Amino acid sequence: MRLYDTKEERKREVTPSSAGTIDIYCCGPTVYRFAHVGNMRTFLLGDLVRRTLRAEGLRYRYIQNITDVGHLNDDVNIEVAGDSPEDKILAQAKLEQKDPFEIARFYEEAFHRDLRALNIMPADAYPKASESISLITDLIAQLIYIGAAYQGNDGSLYFAVRSFKDYGAISNNSLDQLRAGHRFDLNAEESGKRFHADWALWKAADANRQMTWQTPWGVGFPGWHIECSAMSLHYFPNGVSLHLGGIDLRFPHHENERAQSNVATNSEFVRQWVHGEHLLFEGRKMAKSSGNVLHISDLNERGIDPLALRLLFLENHYRTQINLTWAGIEAAQSTLKRWRMKIATWGTSGEIRQKIVEEVQGFFSDDLETPSAMLALRKFERDESIPDGDKRATFIALDELLGLELTKREEVEISEEIEELLKERASARSARNWGRSDELRDLLAQKGIRVSDGPTGQSWELN
Ligand code: AMP
Ligand code: ZN
């Protein structure tokens, strides 16, 4: 499989670790709210990569962290002027008047439900930041020992960015370009650092604060960037094959992660960085702060199968922005319904057409060219030279890759009148009254229902 490497700016063959597995790390959610469908697009990327590797017969391991502490609200859009940034979970706990761990577990469960709704395969492990504190403090101790981290005069521990010469290679930001005053000095709590672009690995905190831990350097809590280094180093000590995330994480999160992990291991720890583009909604960035977020529950409320969204994502390349609209979602829903209906009525036996299977897999293997794969499938669907049974068998085989549950029976609402006519026709057939049965078939056809007869009796679909 080839994927576009953000750092190298080119497509590259994915490389396994020395153990022969493709080791994948994907930055997980911060569990202080329901994930929006933009987040889910990024998580789907990890699923499509794994399904493609599986189709190629390759083995993989997949780890995704759960950020339940240390992710601060330092988004310029959210920050209230003059306030120091707040931990997202603690802020939400205050708002909902709940315990922060209760908040985190609640939204973590919701995240797993959303994954299931989109048929995103579970990771091998979901390590939580709050349960990985000793991994994090061990790594910080190691960085201090190497001379790449220090305790600031405010008691917090900082990464000394100038100890990593190659800083900025993923996002093409060099240290000289990063002006003091850009994003770094927004954080008034980080006043103890020696250089403007250093960042906190561990934040000193008041002992009364919730979600803090005792360490040799005092009471505090971990920074967000060190969490991902600690977890990826723990699960994949020999390096990461693929590191995934949304495009916004390129800087500073992934630059900081890379600096920490590379310095700690004295190696290029991540072999390939892969980023998914953003999802917009009705033309604007999907963000809580601008009030235009869409959740899986919003789709359910409108009677839309979340897998229609999966189909829509497949029709777009992961490295292009998608502007999501309700019209687009509804169009995807009708394609999904049509495919399911056809599969339910396209006969029962047939042969898998290897040529199209290979073509579709080939598109997935080439940097997830899913839009071309979907076009090829539509063409195959329309090809009248191929028997329906073969189409059915082929679509079902490819669903391992697509994950659209194509064999699911659509529940179509039909009126009582239609139901009565269908029953009457079935009785006419059992009574061998062919004249009446044909009459009823024509009547149903006029009402948009196509009836066909098979060895197991009568079946129907919408015209
Ligand atoms: P968060 O829970 O905010 O830490 O984000 C989880 C993941 O969703 C990260 O990989 C982000 O890069 C990604 N993400 C955030 N917003 C969007 C968006 N609008 N479209 C696609 N991915 C996004
Ligand atoms: Zn991360």
What does the pLDDT look like over 2-28, one tens digit per residue? 999 999 999 999 999 988 999 999 999
3-state secondary structure 48-96: HHHHHHHHCCCCEEEEECEECCCCECCCCCCCCCCCCCCEHHHHHHHHH
- Residue ranges of E strands in 166-261: 199-204, 213-215, 218-222, 242-246
Ligand showing the shortest atom-to-Cα distance for residue 254 = 2
Report how far residue 54's alpha carbon sits from residue 58's, in angstroms, rounded to the nearest whole number. 5
Q: What is the pLDDT of residues 379-431, one digit of tens each?
A: 999 999 999 999 999 999 999 999 999 999 876 667 788 889 999 998 999 89
pLDDT value of residue 79: 35
As a whole-number percent, the residues of the chain with pLDDT over 90 amount to 74
Judge if the beta carbon of residue 196 lies within 6 A of ligand 1: no
Q: What is the pLDDT of residues 305-350, one digit of tens each?
A: 999 999 999 999 999 999 999 999 999 999 999 999 889 888 778 9
Question: CB burial class (10 A; 0-12, 13-18, 19+) of residue 252?
Answer: buried
Most confident of 101-110, 215-224, 366-375, 432-441: 366-375
pTM (global) more than 0.85: yes
> Distance from CA of residue 356 to its chain's centroid?
27
Q: Which of 249, 208, 104, 227 is nearest to 159 (CA)?
A: 227
Whether residue 272 is predicted with pLDDT greater than 50 in this model: the reply is yes
Ligand 1 atom closest to Cα of residue 28: 6
Which band of pLDDT confidence, cut at 50, 70 and 90, is reported for residue 78? very low
Q: Which of 49-53, 213-217, 240-244 has the lowest mean pLDDT?
A: 213-217
Instruction: List, in sequence order, every residue forming a beta bridge with 63; answer none if it has no partner.
Output: 25, 125
Whether residue 362 is predicted with pLDDT greater than 50 in this model: the reply is yes
Residue 123 phi/psi, 5-degree rounding, is -75, 170
Mean of pLDDT values over 102-106: 91
Judge if the beta carbon of residue 42 lies within 6 A of ligand 1: yes
Q: How far is the CA of 294 from the centre of ligand 2 (A)?
A: 23
pLDDT value of residue 412: 65
pLDDT value of residue 330: 95
Whether residue 89 is predicted with pLDDT greater than 90 in this model: the reply is no
Judge if the beta carbon of residue 38 lies within 6 A of ligand 1: yes
Taking CA atoms only, the protein residue closest to ligand 1 atom 9 is: 246
Whether residue 269 is predicted with pLDDT greater than 50 in this model: the reply is yes
- Higher pLDDT pick, 94 / 260: 260
Residue 108: HSE in the Cβ half-sphere, 13 Å Cα cutoff: 19
Which band of pLDDT confidence, cut at 50, 70 and 90, is reported for residue 180? low
Question: CB burial class (10 A; 0-12, 13-18, 19+) of residue 12?
Answer: middle
Q: How far is the CA of 227 from the centre of ligand 2 (A)?
A: 7
Whether residue 187 is predicted with pLDDT greater than 60 in this model: the reply is no
Which band of pLDDT confidence, cut at 50, 70 and 90, is reported for residue 184? very low
**Mean pLDDT, the chain, integer:** 91
Judge if the beta carbon of residue 246 lies within 6 A of ligand 1: yes
Judge if the beta carbon of residue 110 lies within 6 A of ligand 1: no
Judge if the beta carbon of residue 70 lies within 6 A of ligand 1: no
Report how far residue 205's alpha carbon sits from residue 212's, in angstroms, rounded to the nearest whole number. 7
Report how far residue 8's alpha carbon sits from residue 418's, in angstroms, rounded to the nearest whole number. 60
Instruction: List, in sequence order, every residue forming a beta bridge with 12; answer none if it has no partner.
Output: 3
Q: Which of 26, 39, 74 to mutate to test the pocket of ligand 1 (most atoms within 8 A of CB)?
A: 39
Ligand 1 atom closest to Cα of residue 31: 2
Ligand 1 atom closest to Cα of residue 29: 2
- Residue ranges of E strands in 277-431: 279-281, 284-285, 322-324
Which band of pLDDT confidence, cut at 50, 70 and 90, is reported for residue 84? low
Whether residue 186 is predicted with pLDDT greater than 60 in this model: the reply is no
- Cβ pair 74, 194 in contact under 8 A: no
pLDDT value of residue 398: 98
Non-local (6+) Cβ contacts of 427 within 8 A are: none
Mean of pLDDT values over 156-185: 82
- Cβ pair 125, 63 in contact under 8 A: yes
Judge if the beta carbon of residue 245 lies within 6 A of ligand 1: yes
pLDDT value of residue 80: 38
Ligand 1 atom closest to Cα of residue 285: 19
Report how far residue 391's alpha carbon sits from residue 400's, in angstroms, rounded to the nearest whole number. 15
pLDDT value of residue 233: 98
Judge if the beta carbon of residue 39 lies within 6 A of ligand 1: yes
Q: How far is the CA of 375 from the centre of ligand 1 (A)?
A: 28
Which is it for strands 60-64 and 22-26: parallel, antiparallel or unpaired? parallel
Secondary-structure percent of the chain, ordered helix, strand, coil, rounded to 5: 45, 15, 40
Report how far residue 270's alpha carbon sits from residue 243's, in angstroms, rounded to the nearest whole number. 7
